[in-house]
Amino acid sequence: MNTPPVERPNVRDPRERLGQTDWSPERFAPVVTTLTGLDWTDRRTAHARAEPIWHGLWSVRDGVVEDIHRRSGQLAEIAADFGSDPGALGLTDTGSHLKLPLYRRFEPRPDAPFAIWLHRYYDPESASGRATTVHSHRYSFTSLVLRGGFTNRLFRFEGRDGGDGRLDGAVGFERDQAVQAGDVYTMHPEAIHTVADLQPDTVTLILQSEPQFHWSTAFDLETGEVRHIPDLVAAAERFRASL
């Protein structure tokens, strides 16, 4: 008996199928509409515009969680249909937390240059990746803590700015910022931090700007080592230069 072939979606790229998926409920519409055109280079205005929107999502957090479960199911279904790694759809494991894309443009859009992610942190005893190192970012972001909490440990930089996100020098402790469920905070690429005192089952909702640099920097407090971490654009340029 011949088994009929499995019918596949009429698209060649799982990301295209993801873009066609109408998942975004009405509660996310104000986020996209209100924050369209947000100027992340204006530090104070960026936070002032994003904070009330994120607090608004906190007020309907049960519905937000339902939407996130729906999105997770769609990602799993699409990955199964295409026989692809969920990473091809933007699901990222950083070692310290999982990043689930909730709203993301795969092509540049000048009028909506941001993404929305869910960060689900591993339990403290097993979290040992990106967030738990001392590091900078390539982008700005505003975070809403949906569940759990942690200490956002901030550092000051003492050294030379090599440009495009590459920092050379040392860091020193500046201050601790305790964040709990319901709190909203904003960080920019020049900020250096790590996540400490992580509570179990911590989940955050992230509004992330488009990349402002092609590099970020990580600092090892014990050895003094400084690592410059490229994005795909910088990695490709470095590879081409090595040929």
Of residues 178 and 111, more confidently modeled: 178
Instruction: Give the per-residue pLDDT at 199.
Output: 93
Q: Is the pLDDT of residue 156 over 70?
A: yes
Classify 160 as helix, strand or coil.
strand
94, amino acid identity: T
* Class of residue 65 by CB neighbours under 10 A (exposed 0-12, middle 13-18, buried 19+): middle
Beta-bridge mates of residue 185: 143
% the chain with pLDDT above 70: 74
Ranges 33-42, 153-162, 176-185, 224-233, most confident = 176-185
pLDDT band at 81 (very low <50, low <70, confident <90, very high): low
Instruction: Give the per-residue pLDDT at 5.
Output: 43
82, amino acid identity: F
Residue 54, phi then psi, degrees to nearest 5 = -70, -40
Instruction: Give the per-residue pLDDT at 4.
Output: 46
**Nearest C-alpha neighbor of 179 from the set 157, 204, 208:** 204
Residue 194, phi then psi, degrees to nearest 5 = -150, 160
What span, in angstroms and rounded, lies between the C-alpha atoms of 143 and 140? 10
Classify 199 as helix, strand or coil.
coil
* CATH 2.60.40.420 holds for 26-242: no
Classify 231 as helix, strand or coil.
coil
What average pLDDT does the chain have?
77
pLDDT band at 223 (very low <50, low <70, confident <90, very high): confident
What span, in angstroms and rounded, lies between the C-alpha atoms of 73 and 201? 20
pLDDT band at 80 (very low <50, low <70, confident <90, very high): low
**Nearest C-alpha neighbor of 172 from the set 193, 190, 197, 150:** 193
| Beta strands 166-180; 149-163: pairing state | antiparallel
Instruction: Give the per-residue pLDDT at 180.
Output: 96
Q: What is the mean pLDDT of residues 131-154?
A: 91
Which run of H or of E encompasses 50? Answer: helix 43-59
Q: Which pTM does this prediction carry?
A: 0.78
Q: Is the pLDDT of residue 65 over 60?
A: yes
Of residues 118 and 161, more confidently modeled: 118
Instruction: Give the per-residue pLDDT at 20.
Output: 44
Ranges 92-106, 144-158, 205-219, most confident = 144-158
Of residues 15 and 52, more confidently modeled: 52
What span, in angstroms and rounded, lies between the C-alpha atoms of 96 and 168? 25
Instruction: Give the per-residue pLDDT at 106.
Output: 43
What span, in angstroms and rounded, lies between the C-alpha atoms of 7 and 16? 17
Ranges 38-47, 74-83, 114-123, 141-150, most confident = 141-150
